[in-house]
Structure 1
Amino acid sequence: MEDIGALESRILAALDRIGTAAGAKGGGDEQAALSKALAHEQAKNVELIDSARALKDRLDAEIAQLTDKLAAQTAQIEQLDTDLQRLRASNTQLREMNADMRQAITTGKFPEVADAAKDAEIAALAAQRAADAAEIEAVLGQLTPLLEEAAHAPG
């Protein structure tokens, strides 16, 4: 933005110098034509500067929007990773409890191990549900903007 302002100042100063030099050298008709051309170029310059500013503002807004979207997706990925780690730990515990239960059945210690196995299975199911919910949330997070865009699309 500072570059645009600096360029604008330099261009306007150069155009003023050209206008001053033309005014000092030229005659009445020539000076009027040069002044008109100078005014036209200055107007085009202002339009270009305004257009560049508008473009920069639009790009800044898009960058901010994309940054927010990236942050939201990063948070979703982190939540999915956390739920996946919990699910893996629960499944590992469940496999260990099943192995212990098989061992207990062969040695006759079934009631104590059965309760622990049930607890491990409940924890694994809860972790699976949390992972599924996080995955659904991530999918909905991706679909919602697309559905809103389609709803507002012409036709």
Structure 2
Amino acid sequence: MSDLAEYERRISYALARIGKGVEAINARVAAGVARPAEPVVENLAPETGPDIPPDEGALTELRDALEAERDANAQLSERVRAIREKQETTLASLERKLAAATKGLDEANHELVRIKHANTELAAVNRDLTDAARDGLADPELINRAMQVELESLRAGRDAEIAELDGLLGALEPLLSTLPQSGPQPSEGDHA
């Protein structure tokens, strides 16, 4: 990218020098002056004497060179514009992907916290249930509570798996969209 900027700067500078030279020559032709005391731009046109008008061929060459430089500058400007558009499109795409990945990571973290909480609660209820069984007490509320906590733990695990699968599907969708949409192609031996 820095090379393009340097080329663009150099071409712009060259165009400005050529433009000044052409303007100087046109001004001399219009004023009837063959050559100024000091040249405006060095080596732009062949030497002319005091009684010799500027060479029209050299003037035409300079105009052609100026036009060619303008065309080259326009082409480079178009290339720079296309590169910038591509960069902006790529950047926007990457920002969308980052946002989706961040959202998926946040969801996975939420489910992980939920699983940790449910597992901690399940371990505590299981300890209480074990203590009650050891003492010979069968507390229906404690058994019910243990089952509820276990169900919550299973739900949290399932939700975490769903979040993980959603992340995998999200990563696979761009790859699948590039595959051809047609079904398997029949071989030469297959006939309907």
Q: Distance in 2 between matches of 1:69 and 1:103?
A: 51
TM-score normalised to structure 2 length: 0.70
Q: Deviations over 1:15-52 (max 9, x none)?
A: 42233235446410111111111111110001000110
What residue is the counterpart of 1:123 in the other structure? 152
The one-letter code sitting in structure 2 at the alignment partner of 1:33 is E
Q: Deviations over 1:109-133 (max 9, x none)?
A: 3222111100100110111111011
TM-score normalised to structure 1 length: 0.85
Moved more, 15-24 or 43-52: 15-24
User: In the alignment, does 2:55 pair up with 1:20?
Assistant: no
Q: Compared with structure 1, are the counterparts of its residues 38 and 68 closer, same or farther at alpha carbon in structure 2 (3 Å cutoff)? A: same
Report if the CA contact (8 A) 1:22-1:34 is conserved.
no
What residue is the counterpart of 1:132 in the other structure? 161
Q: Distance in 1 between matches of 2:73 and 2:25?
A: 19
Q: Larger Cα Rg: Structure 1 or Structure 2?
A: 2
Q: Deviations over 1:75-114 (max 9, x none)?
A: 0000000001101111111111111111010123322211
Q: Percent identity?
A: 29
The one-letter code sitting in structure 2 at the alignment partner of 1:151 is P
The one-letter code sitting in structure 1 at the alignment partner of 2:123 is R
Higher RCO (C-alpha under 8 Å, 6+ residues apart): 1
Moved more, 104-113 or 70-79: 104-113
Higher helix share: 1
User: In the alignment, does 2:134 pair up with 1:106?
Assistant: yes
User: In the alignment, does 2:124 pair up with 1:96?
Assistant: yes
Instruction: Report deviation, 1:149.
Output: 2.2
The one-letter code sitting in structure 2 at the alignment partner of 1:132 is E
Give runs of ≥4 in structure 1 deviating > 3 Å: 10-15, 21-26
